[in-house]
Structure 1
Amino acid sequence: MSGKRFTEEFKIAAAQQVIEKGYSVAEVAGRLGTTTHSVYAWVKKYFPKTPQATALEDQTKELARLKKELQRVTEERDILKKGRGVLRQPVKMRYAFIKDHQQVWSIYRMCSVLEVHPSGYYAWLKQPLSATAKRSKQLSGLIKQFWLESGGVYGYRKIFCDLRDIGEPCGVNRVHRLMRQEGLKSQRGYRKPGYSKGYQPIVQANTLDRQFNPAQPNQAWATDITYIRTHEGWLYLAVVIDLFSRLVVGWSMKPMITKELVLDALLMAVWRRSPTNKVLVHSDQGSQYTSHEWQAFLKQHGLESSMSRRGNCHDNAVAESFFQLLKRERVKRKIYSTRAEARSDIFEYIEMFYNVKRRHGANDQRSPKDFETFYEMKLACI
């Protein structure tokens, strides 16, 4: 098996499945269609156990300790800043401050800073509630129920109407205040990332013309870009899909939407498939695909370009359908703190599940890999 079959990005992500996800080397090798020797080599290369690595680990632990200490000092400063007037108030006022901010800071940290004992705070919590507090607690339960029934999209005005319909007397401002205390918010949209147009584009004809079911592998590939939201910012994903089996033969993930993103995905596809015939590569008219570098790469590797009509997403329906599956089945079920976390999870979905396990309606309910294996068996029998 050629050493150039997999890109550097692919090898690192595969090694991470062993180191971070806990998969065995044999399982990763089996699902990715490579040898255990290759996976061992990748793990050894990208995650070596050397004295330098040990020293780096010690430095990391020390840095983590210092960060924890800095977090403690920062929290104490913020608590004092927020509650500077509470220290002069009676103990019950301090308890109320702790209760109001227990979602922000730890209870023990606030008790230490505000000079009260945690046991006293918990004893105060067990005291009988006033009539107003009981009513607010009852309304909060109803508000949360209606909010959950709406799928987490209703705001305080619609929740107020739901309460009014069941005969619960309550003001709209009180609903707003209780929802804010519970951290319940309406579902709001977010802006899609902007795209900048490059220089004079090179637009090709729609040669594919929605012929999404070629007779054999490596006749037609579809490629497109999507974006994944993380707390660090956007992570862009480009994929190349073989239309015969819907197998993702190439992908790349980067923090910026550049020409290199789509070129790396196509390079992975060329290395993995090594096509001997001219392959039709279909894309939209994004600036990455209309660039001179993209067209030069296609020409260099004997590939033919095809492009969707402007603004017509149906011309590239297979790639759009894959992104819809990815986001519905994986991305929207997670909250990614970092791009690295998102990258690892998406790699696992594509290479460890979608390509080798997930049944596909266009493949007679076989996975893309199984469908190609079945095709090869039929050819061998002819």
Structure 2
Amino acid sequence: MYGVSSSGYYAWKCRQESARHQQDQVLKASLREAHQGHRKAYGAPRMHRYLRQQGLACSVRRINRLMRELGIKASTTGLYAWRPGQHELYSSTGNQLSEAGKATATRAQWAGDFTYIKTHSGWLYHAVVMDLYSRRIVGWSFSRKRNAELTKSALRMALSRHAPRSGCIFHSDQGIEYAAHEYRDLVEQADMVRSMSRKGNPLDNARVESFFHTMKAELIHPEQFEHEIEAVARIVEYIEFYNRERLHSSLGYQSPVEYEKLCA
């Protein structure tokens, strides 16, 4: 089948292993031991340096090949995918909110974020838009899918009910749901200024996070929702309570709607 002669086959079968193949077996045994002994954390470059320190001659390329043959790799491999252009996409929008200072009027600074709600029929994603001056939730949406349409729906609701001032800052984290081109276009068409949290710093969007924490503590965790319809109805009811009745210590123990009236 393979065009190999009988004599050639038996000569290959009886031939001793080459010195290089024997060294490969030694390196493989050392690789297995080092892989387990170092919490499976070493990739080819570190493994190469470690084996050289043990007096074993090898190259990074050879170690890389042997690790592939053994099926071992660093435990962090694949956790962080390389995405060309991602840094430029996020860095093009700085944290405008941190430079603007505290809001002095309604419809001047908005912030958006989303969370997930557990029901017996599955997970439900919930996005909101908050007016940072009064902490009022001015837009919200729900979806079974986590995508840009979820965040766009919440913003469209806010735009239809509370027209923002020209140059209003819209702040969010660096999620792709807020960095998507269609979402960016919607913000810019409304004459708003985009702002994003610094990477790995959730405190930049702390006020919206505080709302989600409060809502989950007062509504979500004490109850078990059977399905998304029940969850949506109860959350919308809670938002109305949050906006019109719940007293906020940061607002002098007034509700967001009452605070807006008093400061108008």
1:366 aligns with 2:225: no
Write out aligned runs for 1:200-349 (5 A).
201=86, 202-203=89-90, 204-209=93-98, 213-349=102-238
Distance in 2 separating the partners of 1:197 and 1:287: 15
The 8 Å contact of residues 212 and 243 in structure 1, kept in 2 or not, is answered as no
> Structure 1's 339 and 311: CA in aligned 2 closer, same or farther, altered over 3 A?
same
Residue-by-residue CA offset, 1:124-169 (whole Å, 9 max, x unaligned) = xxxxxxxxxxxxxxxxxxxxxxxxxxxxxxxxxxxxxxxxxxxxxx
Corresponding residue SS for 1:299: helix
Q: C-alpha displacement at 1:197, in angstroms?
A: 10
TM norm structure 2: 0.65
The 8 Å contact of residues 115 and 212 in structure 2, kept in 1 or not, is answered as yes
CA RMSD of aligned residues (A): 1.9
One-letter amino acid of the counterpart of residue 253, structure 2: Q
> Structure 1's 199 and 340: CA in aligned 2 closer, same or farther, altered over 3 A?
farther
Q: C-alpha displacement at 1:206, in angstroms?
A: 0.8
Distance in 2 separating the partners of 1:197 and 1:307: 21
Matching residue of 1:5? none
Distance in 1 separating the partners of 2:173 and 2:85: 16
Matching residue of 1:355? 243
Matching residue of 2:6? none
The 8 Å contact of residues 198 and 291 in structure 1, kept in 2 or not, is answered as no
Unaligned runs of 5+ in 1: 1-195, 377-382
Could you list the structure 1 runs, at least 4 aligned residues long, displaced by more than 6 angstroms after superposition.
196-199
Corresponding residue SS for 1:213: coil
Q: C-alpha displacement at 1:276, in angstroms?
A: 3.6
Distance in 1 separating the partners of 2:83 and 2:232: 27
Distance in 2 separating the partners of 1:349 and 1:220: 23
One-letter amino acid of the counterpart of residue 262, structure 2: F
> Structure 1's 275 and 333: CA in aligned 2 closer, same or farther, altered over 3 A?
same
Q: C-alpha displacement at 1:208, in angstroms?
A: 0.6
The 8 Å contact of residues 237 and 253 in structure 1, kept in 2 or not, is answered as yes
Q: C-alpha displacement at 1:209, in angstroms?
A: 1.2
Corresponding residue SS for 1:288: helix
The 8 Å contact of residues 198 and 287 in structure 1, kept in 2 or not, is answered as no
Write out aligned runs for 1:38-53 (5 A).
none
One-letter amino acid of the counterpart of residue 341, structure 1: E
The 8 Å contact of residues 119 and 227 in structure 2, kept in 1 or not, is answered as yes
TM norm structure 1: 0.45
Distance in 1 separating the partners of 2:246 and 2:96: 30
Q: C-alpha displacement at 1:261, in angstroms?
A: 0.5
The 8 Å contact of residues 197 and 287 in structure 1, kept in 2 or not, is answered as no
Unaligned runs of 5+ in 2: 1-80
